[in-house]
Amino acid sequence: LELESALHKAIERNEMVLHYQPKIDVRGARMVGVEALMRWQRGNTLVPPGDFIPLAEETGLIIPLSEWAIREAARQARIWQDNFGFSDSIAVNLPNRLFERTDLVENIHQAVTTYGVPHRVIELEITETGLMKDLQNVIPSLHRLNEIGVEISIDDFGTGYSSLAYLTTLPISELKIDRSFVRDLGMTPQSSAVVTAIIALARSLGLRVIAEGVENMRQMEVLHRLGCGVMQGFLFSKAQPPDVLEQWLQQTV
């Protein structure tokens, strides 16, 4: 309960921060975007999301927290746009609960117009499991987001049970291969079979594909060989505070 009331006040107290993990195109050895990951600066402790996101989901605080994350990403994009010519996107994780909000699309529109950045600066990651569990709630919003230029990436792809027929009808832009398959690449034939299938699916649907959780050269090489050139993971960088990430931004201009 103490944690809950502290979390409740965290936004207005300016205690929430976003860290950013680069998405790397290994073919051009350049950054093509970032994923925003939330942390809670509570006194001297940087609380990882695993320690507060579940509580936030239970209590509904995930809604204001996610709305804050979208505004903060837009604010940061504007700073990077001005200082580094940043024109890629910042991916924000969006839990299903947000799709219950009738003002979701309007809030995102407000955030980007407030900071004067293009709508496509905000990309949203929704998990495959969340998407499939709640299709009827989610689909109308996906179409409206697509219309205003906000792209959708399907996170943890391969772990849920997507109806492939349905997938072809959704306005999505990217499949993100779940890290469990990446972890086992080069060690089990099943993992490379799944990765190969996801890459083929993305290609035939005209979607981008990205692999998460890339930790070593072997995984990178196998992914590249199988046709996935965009990756995210500790091999390149963990999520970093904005000032540290600026090293990457300097290289892209």
Q: Interface with ligand G by CB under 6 A: which residues?
A: 21, 37-38, 48-50, 53, 66, 69, 93, 95, 155-156, 179, 212-215, 233-234, 239
Nearer to Na ion, 69 or 195 (CB): 69
**Tokens linked to 102:** 């009738």
Question: What gap in Å lies between CA 225 and CA 188, rounded to an integer?
Answer: 16
* Residue 26 to residue 86: CA distance in whole angstroms: 19
Residue that is written with structure tokens 């089990």 in the block: 188
For residue 122, the minimal CB distance to ligand G (Å) is 13
The three-state (H, E, C) secondary structure of 156-178, written as one string = EECCCCCCHHHHCCCCCCEEEEC
Least spacing, CB of residue 155 vs Na ion, in Å? 4
Q: Binding Mn ion by CB under 5 A: which of 156, 172, 229, 232?
A: 156
> Among residues 38 and 172, whose Cβ is nearest to ligand G?
38
Give the one residue of 155, 211, 231, 248 binding Mn ion; rule: CB under 5 A: 155
Region binding Mn ion by CB under 5 A among candidate stretches 42-50, 71-79, 116-124, 151-159: 151-159
95 near 130, Cβ under 8 Å? yes
Helix (H, G, I), strand (E, B) or coil at 79: helix
Give the single-character DSSP code of 61: T
Contact residues toward Na ion (CB under 5 A) are 93, 125, 155
Instruction: Please provide the size of the chain in residues.
Output: 253
174 forms part of the interface with Mn ion (CB under 5 A): no
Stretch that binds Mn ion, among 28-36, 68-76, 87-95, 148-156 (CB under 5 A): 148-156
Beta strands at 45-47 and 174-177: parallel, antiparallel or unpaired:
unpaired
According to DSSP, residue 160 is labeled: S
Specify the stretch interacting with Mn ion by CB under 5 A; choose among 27-35, 72-80, 147-155, 232-240: 147-155
Q: Which is nearer to ligand G, 23 or 119 (CB)?
A: 23
